[in-house]
Structure 1
Amino acid sequence: MNNDDIMLSIYVPTYCHEKYISRALDSILMQKTSYKYEVLVGDDASPDGTREILKKYEEKYPGKFKMFYRSENMYGKIPNNARDLQLRCVGKYIIGLEGDDYWISDTKIEKQISFLENNPEYIAVAHNCVVVDENDNVTGEKYPECKDEIYTLEHFVSEIMPGQLTTVMARNYVKYNFFDTSILNKGLVPGDRLLYFALAAHGKVYCMQETMSAYRHVVKKGSTSFSSNYRYVFEKEENWYGCLMEYAKNLESNKAYYYAEMLYFRNIFYGLRYRQLPLNKIMTYFNKIEHKNKAVSLFFKQLINHKIFKKSIWV
């Protein structure tokens, strides 16, 4: 397949997904589309049977998958497993699919590619998802996905996502480098939220109100997913939001910078709330914010939206 003919690159990072990886790959194989696509799968040195399953798919479907079998685990490294796969994507568009998630519509990529082809003013397109457990049962949990037509920075600071990772198809920001992707090269977790911020800061993201994928939310020991392992630690959050703030400072959008500063201030607030930030160090961090009055006023506006108007899902 000529690289110029590839419309979509699908990257599939996987680790210890022996029980789920077949469902993920089958959901790709079932796609009914007129567009050509490539599938890059990276096994992050799984100690279970994930790799053996991937080799069976590689044998059964020759040329369909590009398999990358890591000799050692890349978690915490730069680039990590997922980012390395992204850097290898050559399609006009790009989308990720975690090895334990799957698509439930066989026309998903056809619809999303067609939308981007026909709407050049949009940088990405997302859709809704359903949350399932380890046995594919719908849990009833609601993913914080955007229910408006266009995803904006206002959604981002309210902890609303355009959709779960595998719902978001974008123009290939790696291949074409049409916006600053430096924030994605730092190995920060969660990386998907950094991508959403960058997309919303640089273009329009359309949100289809159609459920076309399943997000598996399983909280268990040994999982590498961010949501399964998240525990608030002030220093880690300070670094994450500090990097976001520095990134936004160099953007043309003042709004993006103001919002990043507000989020940095919010983390100072959380550090105090969870008693992880000593009182005598508050000003050390607060002085990193350039537009202090703006950050504080935006913070309290969001707090009111959450407490009174329920327009934010802050916790």
Structure 2
Amino acid sequence: MENPNKILVSICMITYNHERFLAEAINGVLDQKIDSGFELVVSDDCSTDYSYEIVDSFVSNHPLGNRIRYIRHKTNLGMSENFHWTLMQCKGEYIAYCEGDDYWTDTRKLQKQIDYLQSNKSLSFAFHRTTLYYQNSKISKADHNDRFFKKNKSLIEVDGFTLANGWQIGMQTLVFRKAYISNLNISDFNYFRDVHLLAHLLEYGNGACLNFFGSVYRIHNEGVHSRNSKFENLKTGYACFEELFKCYKKNYQKLILKNYLHELIQFQIKGNNYQEAVYYLKKLMSLEFSLKVLAYYLKELILSTARR
């Protein structure tokens, strides 16, 4: 067994007004059974609720309260900057992530992932399956990755093209090597999100999805993704991969970018927003010209206009 006082893994937890969920998130971390020491870095982005009292109670009363480093920002940094700032504070050889409204359910999840990464030095990250929990309806569903696990595979190695095939990666499932983010610069991007972190890690090696359920991704009205409209999420996804492709020039990013443009064009045609549809069609043709695709969408535009 390794030295339990050595910080092998840091858990990055950003939070903003998560008082309803924060205790469950922290308990899921502190319940971990791991052979080496860990720290929990909680970065509170100037919450206006009782998040401080919740974290302070854990620090003061929990047997592992000394493992918690709590930072309460005096001004609101915004999610992207707080995420990057917190990553840079982590001291462990590995970093795990769990936002303040999600939680872990497998007490050995960290150990399983670290064991796998230590045995597979060429990989940059490991993640696992997750449960989607819809807070309002109290309905739980498995993630969308079942279709990839044929014949009860225990794991699947993933690269950029694998992810472009529709994989769902819950950030609360991720463990990665800290050394690989030393040069991750948020100022390079206008829309820094989790996909930027994954794209950066893929520059150093593939990842692996371990086939076990170890966490819950909570979907609720206060969640950033949940409260945005479908169009807003499509626009943000497109903007993220547009700047990722400009930075890294990877073909899998181009493929995802094209997929977003197809969705945006179809969304705008369906909504009779023809000027916007043409705008995204021009973007698509600029990215990769195809006479067949151009003819298809021009026909769709003409038919849609005729049906009005």
1-side partners of 2:291 and 2:114: how far apart?
39
**1:211/1:286 CA distance change after superposition, 3 Å:** closer
1-side partners of 2:292 and 2:239: how far apart?
14
TM-score (normalizing by structure 1): 0.75
Q: Which residue of 2 aligns with 1:263?
A: 260
Superposition pairs of residues 116-195 of structure 1, within 5 angstroms: 116-134=117-135, 139-145=139-145, 147-148=148-149, 149-161=156-168, 163-172=169-178, 175-177=181-183, 181-182=184-185, 186=189, 188=191, 191-195=193-197
Q: Which structure 2 residue ranges, 5 or more long, are not aligned?
A: 150-155, 298-308
Identity %: 21
Deviation at 1:43, TM superposition (A): 1.6
Maintained 8 Å contact 2:12/2:86: yes
Q: Which residue of 2 aligns with 1:112?
A: 113
Maintained 8 Å contact 1:166/1:213: yes
Maintained 8 Å contact 2:117/2:123: yes
Q: Which residue of 1 aligns with 2:227?
A: 229
2-side partners of 1:260 and 1:292: how far apart?
14
**1:202/1:242 CA distance change after superposition, 3 Å:** farther
How many residue pairs match? The answer is: 283
**1:294/1:168 CA distance change after superposition, 3 Å:** farther
Match of 1:70 among 73, 85, 107: 73
**1:283/1:248 CA distance change after superposition, 3 Å:** closer
Per-residue deviation, residues 213-250 of structure 1 (Å, max 9, x unmatched): 122222x2xx1x2332121346x744642442343244
| The structure with more radius of gyration | 2
Q: Which residue of 1 aligns with 2:24?
A: 23
Deviation at 1:53, TM superposition (A): 0.9
Amino acid at match of 1:151: V
Per-residue deviation, residues 128-163 of structure 1 (Å, max 9, x unmatched): 1223344995x23232346441223344334322x3
| Worse-matched range after superposition: 205-214 or 271-280 | 271-280
Deviation at 1:12, TM superposition (A): 0.8
Match of 1:213 among 215, 233, 244: 215
SS in 1 for 2:248: coil
Higher helix fraction (1 or 2): 2
Deviation at 1:258, TM superposition (A): 4.3
TM-score (normalizing by structure 2): 0.77
Amino acid at match of 1:124: F
Per-residue deviation, residues 89-108 of structure 1 (Å, max 9, x unmatched): 23221121111211111111
SS in 1 for 2:132: strand
Deviation at 1:203, TM superposition (A): 2.4
Q: Which residue of 2 aligns with 1:273?
A: 270
2-side partners of 1:108 and 1:30: how far apart?
10
SS in 1 for 2:241: helix
Maintained 8 Å contact 1:33/1:109: yes
Maintained 8 Å contact 1:245/1:264: no
Match of 1:247 among 238, 244, 249: 244
Amino acid at match of 2:245: A
